Structure 1
Amino acid sequence: MKYIGFIKEFDDVIFAKEFKDCVTHIYRDNTGIIKYLEKGTYFGGWMEAVTEVENDDIFVSNLEYFTDGEWVWPAYYSYYLKKYQNFYVSPKFLEHINKNKEKQINLTEKELLNMEKMFFIEYKKEEFIENDTLSKQLKTELETYKTYKGKNYTEEEWKIFKERLYLEYFEKE
């Protein structure tokens, strides 16, 4: 998972930037970026309103998060891209948008649930570090698709394993 547009004043996480560091000297037309962000799929959030960093009286958005399956961004990111033509955008994210701007974002419910779990593990990493058992349990739950004879398998590993068992069974007959 990659992150873009997180502001420390709203999301105090390791991958967020302070607002003052988000306003750059690079000006651009953000229309295509905003259009792409608006295609994103909602997967989680907090019941909290976001107001402007500079003026608490101006409502920006709810504290919600969106994804395209690879990148994650907060709802307030597009607001600041509309307001400032020089608001930070990662070159890697720009490249990603250019490659994927015509694609539809279609995520399954399972993908969104996994995205939500992984995001909130990352979001609350400091709390999980304090309770390392919970962190390991959640990561194992996300990574484990099936368990067979005490071994955990991801979904992809399980498909390969199941195919091998199937072939071995028919080779014996």
Structure 2
Amino acid sequence: MAASTPDIGKLKRSYLLHFIDASFGTGESPKWYLIGKDIDDMSVELSPDTSTVKNILDETSVNDNGYEPTLDAGTYYANTGDSIYPKIKDIAMNRLTGDDCKTKILEMLIDKKTGPYDAWIEDCIVKPQSYGGAQGGVNIPFNVTFDGNRKQGTATISDKVPTFTETV
């Protein structure tokens, strides 16, 4: 029998949380930065990769090659108080590539009244798309490309800091 989930009804967008590890693999404990402060619309684009093939017998088959998920943080106002700012600045201004842009993303779905909550952690690449913007702040929008090694588990939040536990 499946475990029952207390019904909380229609989920608010704020119940789906995305954190980036601002330590970028420096060997420290993760410094989880919650994405979304100045963003009013953000989705993980799954970008499913499928192809349909029709053979000479008029039979159709579909090849499912998985997903190529990305997340577009279209608004990030540079803030020296944010844990992610030094690395976003470094990647953008020094045009870093490869491993220098790799970190982890933590996704949490708060779909029950009490934790721990379902969560997933995955390697990712963070790439600023531009910098500058209009009056009001220096905007450094960035994309997050999911890079595999996805693990499912649970997470709790204490003082706005998540703690991930992998499901074994």
TM-score bucket (shorter structure): under 0.3
Structure with the greater relative contact order (CA < 8 A, sep ≥ 6): 1 or 2? 2
TM-score normalised by length of structure 2 = 0.26
The structure with more radius of gyration = 1
